[in-house]
Structure 1
């Protein structure tokens, strides 16, 4: 389903700032590359798709804004129903930013959103709480925050 350009522009304007606001504190920021909890080289706000070098604060923030917008576009391709649901879209973008778009698009979260069960989809966020085969308290906490955002306005 192709989303009309004016609707896409509105959806992005309504959801990307909210998604950035939730992604940034949960990802944390490191201007220098580091290995995340499962050993993946990461920099800035959890970015793995860039050159691993030191970045300035401004570069990290610009990178985050660009990445979140890209993830929002990709989430909308999987879940076009979210074009009119900015809080649910922002929560889905945060989830996809953390687990990857492919995993998001194959998830029960996506399937329930597609079926119109917004609350049911939001309730599924909590299932994504593991890294490296272990439950991670930080992910439990993040999913709780994403779920609360997702339930906003429902």
Structure 2
């Protein structure tokens, strides 16, 4: 029988894999730093921490950076959530958190609803509200939020 810690590790690995499959295509991979839609220097799959224009990365560095960022964001959002989520719901929330940031996610109505014990059908739709960047509604964010919403609702 697997220990609780081992089982939790396996679940987390699954969540990271599922979330990574959502994050990667929506973020896209760039081996050269660029400015994102709101002017933040970005590289790989949406990595912004410490990035400056002119930076470059290899595919291996981007793979490692994505895993590191997903783990960091998972730890951040996990600290804010008290309720039970399925692995797919965790993956949807992680993808969203990766995009909007831990601070915004933790202070959101979505997390408040989870922590108040709301049913998934009440909080998963909150994902669809996060489609603006720099005050502009972005088609890519609409598509991403729909994918996250479908994932969130899918195994509940």
TM-score in same-fold range (> 0.5): yes
Write out aligned runs for 1:56-135 (5 A).
Answer: 56-82=58-84, 84-116=85-117, 117-135=119-137
> Hey, what's the Cα distance between the residues in 2 that align with 1:105 and 1:90?
15
Mapped pair 1:137 → 2:139:
yes
Q: Which runs of 5+ in 2 are unaligned?
A: none
- Flag as ranges the 4+ runs of structure 1 deviating above 2 A: 4-8
> Hey, what's the Cα distance between the residues in 2 that align with 1:6 and 1:106?
30
Partner deviation per Cα, 1:9-36 (whole Å, 9 max, x = no partner)? 2431221100111001111110000000
State the Cα distance separating 1:86 from its structure 2 match: 0.7
Task: Say what the alpha-carbon RMSD is for the aligned residues.
Answer: 1.5
Identify if the C-alpha distance between structure 1 residues 79 and 10 changes in structure 2 by more than 3 Å, giving closer, same or farther.
farther
The alignment of Structure 1 onto Structure 2 pairs a total of residues equal to: 150
- SS of the aligned residue for 2:79 comes to helix
If the length of structure 2 is used for normalisation, what is the TM-score?
Answer: 0.89
If the length of structure 1 is used for normalisation, what is the TM-score?
Answer: 0.90
Q: Is the 8 A contact 2:33 2:51 kept in 1?
A: no
> Hey, what's the Cα distance between the residues in 2 that align with 1:12 and 1:121?
21
- Decide which moves more: 139-148 or 61-70: 61-70
- Decide which moves more: 68-77 or 95-104: 68-77
> Hey, what's the Cα distance between the residues in 2 that align with 1:111 and 1:10?
27
State the Cα distance separating 1:153 from its structure 2 match: 1.2
Write out aligned runs for 1:7-22 (5 A).
Answer: 8-22=8-22
Q: Is the 8 A contact 2:127 2:148 kept in 1?
A: yes
> Hey, what's the Cα distance between the residues in 2 that align with 1:118 and 1:29?
31
Decide which structure has the larger Cα Rg and report it. Answer: 2
- SS of the aligned residue for 1:78 comes to coil
- SS of the aligned residue for 2:154 comes to coil
State the Cα distance separating 1:50 from its structure 2 match: 3.3
